[in-house]
Structures are given as C-alpha cells and as structure tokens.
Amino acid sequence: MNQMTLQIVEWGLLIVVGIYILQALLLLWGTFQHQKSKHQQNAPQVSIIVAARNEQQTLQRTIESLLQLDYPQDKLEILLVDDRSEDSTREIIQRFAQKYSFIKLIPIRAMIPGLSGKQTAIHTAVQNARGEYILLTDADCQVPFSWVKEIIAYYDERTGMVCGQTELISQAQKLSLWEGIQAIDWFYLLTAASGACGIGKPTSCIGNNLSFRKSVYQQIGGFPKIGFSVTEDFALLDAVVRQTTWQVRFPISSKMTVQSHPVPTVKNLIAQRKRWLIGGKKVRPYGKLLMSTSFFTHLLIPLTLILTNKLLLVTISFGTVVMADLMLILRSIIPLHRSSLLRFFPLFEIAYFLYTTFLAGFIFSKRIHWKGIVYEHK
C-alpha cells in the first residue's frame, strides 16, 4: 500500500475521531436542556396503553406496577390491548379489567391493512382513549410509581411528545456479564437520544417509555397515515418532527425511568438491533451523521493499527473514543444510581467495536421476524 493511501487513512481517523468527540460533547450538553414546565398541570386525563401479544409470563407484573402509580384513578385509564395472543394473555387482562373499572381490554381480531401488529394495537387503543395524554409501555416492563406525574410535568404548551429512559435489570438477583453489557449499551444509546432531542435534532426514542398528546397523533394522521414500520416508536417520532412544530423532550429522570430486561441470547440481540437498524433507515440527516461517524470511527481505529502500525495515534484515538462514550454513559448511570454498571464498561467498549461494524451490513436487509410474524420492510 502506497504512502499516500496510508496518510489518507491516518487523516481520516483523526477527522472522524475529532467529529466523534465534538458530537459527544454536544449531546452531553443537550441532555441538560430538558426542563419541566413552569406551569404545572393539575392531573390531566391520562391514558396508558400496553400492547400485549403472548405475554402471559410478564404481563401481570407490568399491570401490578401500573396499579401502584401515584396518580388519581379518576384521571387515569389503562388500556390493555390483546394483539391476537395464543396464550392466556387475554384471560389475565380480563381478570384485572373485572376488578378495576379504569382498566379496559382492547381486543385485536385482525391487523389494519398496511400496518404491523404493534401499530394496529396502538392505533386502535389511541382511538378508544379518553385522555389527551397517551403513555406507552410494554407488557414486559415495570414503571415507577411517579411515572405519570413526572412525564406530565415536562409538558408545556409547546411540547407534543415526551420520551423517557429505560434501564435493563436482571430477572436474577444481579446482572450477568452478558446482561451488564446490554444495560450499559442501552444507557449509552438513550443518553445520546436525549442529547439529540435537547439540541433540537430528535433522532430516536424507545417505545416502552413514550408519551404524546392524542391531538398530535390525530394531527399527523396516526399510523394509517405514517404507514408500515417495524419500529413504530421511531416512525411516530419522525412524523411528529417532520410534520409539526411541536417540541420533543427526552429528560433523564429516575422518577420516570422504566425497567425492562435484557435479551437472553446473541441471536435475540442481533434480531433486535437488526429491527432497529432497518426501521431507522429514514432517520433525519443528523441521525445519519451520528451513525456514520460511529461506524467509521470504530472501523478506522483497528484498520489504522493494521495498516500503519502507528500505535501512538491509535492509542490516543481509542482513548478519546472511550472517554467520549464514558461521558455519555455517566450522564445517565449517576442520576439513575446505576454506577455499579461501570464494571462492565471495558467489555462494553470491546463489544461496541465489534457490533458497530458487524451490524452495518444489516442495513440492506428487509425481512424482520417479530413476535412470531415475518414482515417485509420496504
């Protein structure tokens, strides 16, 4: 390989690492820009939607956490959607609906043409919701008792959507190595998403901790107007950003952080990230810049070491990337009291180098397997 090519590789590394650290600093600043409304609302009507398909193992715990919410029951309704489950999910919902008047079963008998099962479930529930504020979580999650109050506190007259953090916890007493790496990864990704919202460039959110005004959903035409997506949360966020002037907030707050669980196997993780990657193909230019910078940074560091043997350059570049990642991770794990996760950070960095370049190949895929259903994404 000639000298000019090697110099291009070296300069390319310096440029992308420089962009990487600047992006991290900007995102970090963005996470501090989400402020609560100065004019707090007095318990507005809220509708919580949980779409469930074959969730008999986890649904009861989710409902029990919702029953502990610190919010007036006369201002709250919980819409539990049975998305054509083949297990005892519907029976579990019916049992709670019979006991609590503010819990309602929404049965799905067929998908709306052109939409995914999850989109159909959410859209049907929104159409039946009485509340102006719609809160979404998943049937394998637990919410904190202050969840609703904290989310509503961030809505002012300009805010149309509020996103929240999700932390991964183990079903055992403590996280395994595999689970810990995933937990740090989620904090990293969602902190970056919070920062992007804070600088006015919303790029992503997580559907198990998402809220929006019903009027905003109706304004954009809902999922029937948005069209098919395997990442309905991103599609909804993207539509709000592109089609309206409503603001999106993504605060980092322990009072509204939802708990979920890591996926059990590498195969499950690849399928999850493949779905996220394919569903996020329509991300706006700033999101594409973030993804491209991350990909080329994690590609060029090992490539430069192999091609040039410039150990000092590679070491400084690697150290800079590690510090940038650590800044964002600390921004979440400290206020959320998860500092013990730092013991997984070194292995997370190694894993991140591997899967950032590996998963990029899936951007050309179209077929997605989700909840026993195969989708073809255009």
| pLDDT bucket at 209, cuts 50 / 70 / 90 | very high
Does 372 map to a domain?
no
Give the three-class secondary structure for 135: strand
Shared domain for 270 and 298, answered yes or no, is no
Does 230 map to a domain?
yes
Does 39 map to a domain?
no
Does 20 map to a domain?
yes
**What is the per-residue pLDDT for 366?**
57
Q: For the CA atoms of 102, 234, 371, 275, what is the dihedral angle to 10 degrees?
A: -160
Does 316 map to a domain?
yes
Does 348 map to a domain?
yes
Predicted model pTM: 0.92
Alpha helices in 32-78 (DSSP H): 59-67
Shared domain for 113 and 19, answered yes or no, is no
Shared domain for 118 and 14, answered yes or no, is no
Shared domain for 201 and 233, answered yes or no, is yes
Backbone phi, psi, residue 30, to 5° = -60, -30
Distances (CA, A) of 104 to 44, 71, 109, 129, 189: 19, 17, 16, 10, 34
Give the three-class secondary structure for 259: strand
**What is the per-residue pLDDT for 173?**
75
Q: How far is CA 153 from the centre of its chain?
A: 20
Domain boundary among the residues 255, 279, 303 is at 279
Shared domain for 144 and 99, answered yes or no, is yes
> Could you give the CA distance from residue 358 to residue 288 in angstroms, rounded to a whole number?
17
**What is the per-residue pLDDT for 369?**
56
| pLDDT tens readout for residues 262-302 | 998 888 888 787 777 776 677 888 998 998 999 999 999 99
Q: What is the mean pLDDT of residues 213-217?
A: 98
Kindly report the CATH number assigned to the domain that includes residue 131.
3.90.550.10
Least confident interval from 128-142, 201-215, 359-373: 359-373
Shared domain for 122 and 25, answered yes or no, is no
Give the three-class secondary structure for 249: strand
Q: How far is CA 224 from the centre of its chain?
A: 22
> Could you give the CA distance from residue 92 to residue 245 in angstroms, rounded to a whole number?
40
**What is the per-residue pLDDT for 1?**
61
> Could you give the CA distance from residue 143 to residue 373 in angstroms, rounded to a whole number?
27
Shared domain for 224 and 89, answered yes or no, is yes
Shared domain for 27 and 51, answered yes or no, is no
Domain boundary among the residues 254, 279, 304 is at 279
Alpha helices in the chain (DSSP H): 3-31, 59-67, 89-99, 117-128, 147-152, 177-198, 214-219, 222-226, 232-243, 266-279, 285-308, 311-333, 345-359
Shared domain for 176 and 100, answered yes or no, is yes
Does 339 map to a domain?
yes
Beta bridge partners of 77: 47
Shared domain for 111 and 258, answered yes or no, is yes
Shared domain for 244 and 334, answered yes or no, is no
Shared domain for 150 and 238, answered yes or no, is yes
The single residue listed with the structure tokens 């992006």 is 23
How many separate domains does the chain show? 2
HSE-CB for 59 with a 13 A CA cutoff: 24
**What is the per-residue pLDDT for 371?**
56
Sign of CA dihedral 306, 310, 315, 318: negative
Q: What is the mean pLDDT of residues 59-78?
A: 97
The single residue listed with the structure tokens 């609590």 is 100
Greater confidence (67 vs 378) lies with 67
HSE-CB for 196 with a 13 A CA cutoff: 24
pLDDT greater than 80 at residue 256: yes
Cβ distance 59 to 85 under 8 Å?
A: no
Closest C-alpha among 144, 122, 127, 131 to residue 73: 131
What percent of the chain is modeled with pLDDT above 90?
77
> Could you give the CA distance from residue 165 to residue 21 in angstroms, rounded to a whole number?
23
**What is the per-residue pLDDT for 208?**
97
What domain range is 223 assigned to? 46-279
- Concatenating the DSSP letter of every residue in 101-116 gives TTEEEEEE-SPPTTS-
Domain boundary among the residues 279, 295, 314 is at 279
